[in-house]
Chains A and B, each alone.
Chain A
Amino acid sequence: MKRFIPFLLALSLLISLPNEAAENAGVIKLATTTSTASSGLLDYLLPKFEAKCSCKVHVIAVGTGKALKLGEDGNVDVVLVHARPAEDAFVLAGHGTDRRDVMYNDFVLVGPNNDPARIKGEKDVLLAMKKIADTQWKFVSRGDDSGTDQMEKSYWKALGIQPAGQRWHYSAGQGMGEVLMMSGEMRAYTLTDRGTYISFKDKIGLPVLMQGDARMFNPYGIIAVNPKKYPRSNYQGATELINWITSAEGQKLIGEFKVGGEQLFVPSAK
């Protein structure tokens, strides 16, 4: 027992040493959505940015609603989300400034191989969604106010359909990955961004049944947290990131990012 104590002390000391990434200075805190982070784009892009700016970007990946809330509370320096109406409201309310378009990806409708609602090859997303609602075949929804969720809700609204509470509509309240897994298990339809789908396609066995409608394009915006509201936020770092990601270099890299041989994001900064 006596000899154990110095060993414990050495171990404790070793454990207490901070790992190098724990520094706080020069850090840019970026809130984004789980699907954006999970696509791998940021793991690809940010190191190149960090090398240029000699700074560190801390990425906090949460749902769209929470990402914007973090910006609203001043707990991050910059947000990158894909929910235009919410983004505009965010800026209008004075929480953010310098909103820029960054890129867009697209949504696709996936579902069981045998396609009970017969949406395969459909060109009109609203028609496809209507068929699913009419057939009353299972549909799993994000149900978490994320960009994807808001996109889905916009379709139902345009159709004048209220799916909430109907037994074929499952509101999962979870991230895209979980919803895809659930859809795979249940052989259900679901709306998903292409990036997450590519990562999960081998695991769920649901093919893409419908894609390409312009209303399925999913634009991303980057917004700096308003320094007038939160003077202590890293506005300078946020600006550097925004400038870089919308620069020719950043945009080129976005277009070059591929998963499974497929390009996921289309650069769109003006």
Chain B
Amino acid sequence: MSLSQALFDALRLLWEGDPTLWGIVHVSLRVCFLALLLATPPAVMLGFALANFQFPGRRMLIVLIQTLLALPTVVVGLILYFLLTRNGPLGNYELLFTQGGMVLGQAVLAFPILAAMTLSAVQGADARVVETARMLGAGRLRIACTLMLEVRFAVMAAMITGFGRVISEIGCAMMVGGNIAGVTRNITTAIALETSKGEFAQGIALGIVLVSIALVANFGMAALQGRGGQK
């Protein structure tokens, strides 16, 4: 089968609206979305704290976060397996081979990106922001909120980057989710399965969906970055 044949079959599959395929897409979107929801508040707060406060161990923490950015997803999956396994520390929650477990895993993957990029965003904020807010009588809490508002587009870009990482990862999803049909089978694990079965058309169809999602997300990011600068 040639590439063009596979591509043609793939587009036909998409067009026919196969419910299994769209169910798989739904799993991907749902898990990624919930993972970001879980990871964003603590990560953003951490990034903010790292940018604005000095405390012992600050440097170490920043180095740690940046190292976690490079961690292979399958390693994260492996670590989570040991945490979530029946006799493991979190075994009682029975999260292995569920969407909940996948959400946890992808939240862990997104966290360093969100924290590092928020740190960057806040550090990159205009120095006059804090001064202006202070001069206008804002207290510490209000200054913090104002600062976050001023860098909101950069933080949103961080979220989209985090989304990009988790929607296209497979190592963790496979380990923690188990690729169970209709339950934890998402786009990437389905692609792996279909291609291992030689069903390249299916794999390509799913790949097209994934790339489209990533395109939409990145268009969003480009639009946000366009709005974010006033320098």
Contacts and interface: CB of A to CB of B under 8 A. Distances in A.
B170 to A, nearest CB: 14
B197 A38 contact: yes
Interface in B10-45: 23, 26-27, 29-30, 33-34
Give chain A's interface secondary structure class: mixed
B30 A75 contact: no
Nearest to A46: B181
A74 B91 CA distance: 10
A230 B197 CA distance: 34
A34 interface: yes
B-side interface mostly: loop
B218 interface: no
B87 A60 contact: no
A73 B97 contact: no
Contact of B99 (A15, A18, A180): A18
Interface in B65-116: 85-87, 94, 96-99
Interface string A222-237: 0000000010110000
B87 A15 contact: no
Interface in A5-61: 12, 15-19, 21-22, 24, 29, 34, 38, 58-61
Contacts of A16: 30, 33-34
B98 A22 contact: yes
Contacts of A177: 196-198
Contacts of A247: none
B33 A12 contact: yes
B33 A59 contact: no
A59 B85 contact: no
Contacts of A98: none
Nearest to B84: A75
A61 B177 CA distance: 11
A35 B9 CA distance: 25
Given A22-B98, A73-B86, A58 B180 contact: yes
A17 B26 CA distance: 10
A15 B26 contact: yes
Interface string B164-183: 00000000000000111111
Given A15-B33, A18-B30, A19-B23, A74 B87 contact: yes
B136 interface: no
A175 interface: yes
Interface in A65-98: 73-76
Interface residues of B, number: 25
Interface residues of A, number: 33
Contacts of B1: 203
Nearest to B85: A73
Contacts of A181: 198
B86 A15 contact: no
A116 B33 CA distance: 55
Given A59-B180, A75-B86, A175 B96 contact: no
Nearest to A42: B181
Contacts of A200: 198
Given A73-B86, A74-B87, A75-B97, A19 B182 contact: yes
Given A15-B29, A15-B33, A73-B85, A199 B197 contact: yes
Contacts of A75: 85-86, 96-97
6 contacts: A21-B183, A22-B99, A29-B97, A75-B97, A177-B198, A181-B198
Given A29-B97, A73-B85, A75-B86, 5 more contacts: A15-B26, A15-B33, A19-B182, A74-B85, A180-B198
Interface of A: 12, 15-19, 21-22, 24, 29, 34, 38, 58-62, 73-76, 174-175, 177-178, 180-181, 199-200, 203, 230, 232-233
Query: Which are the 7 A-B pairs with shortest beta-carbon distances?
Result: A74-B86, A60-B178, A21-B182, A177-B196, A58-B180, A73-B85, A203-B198
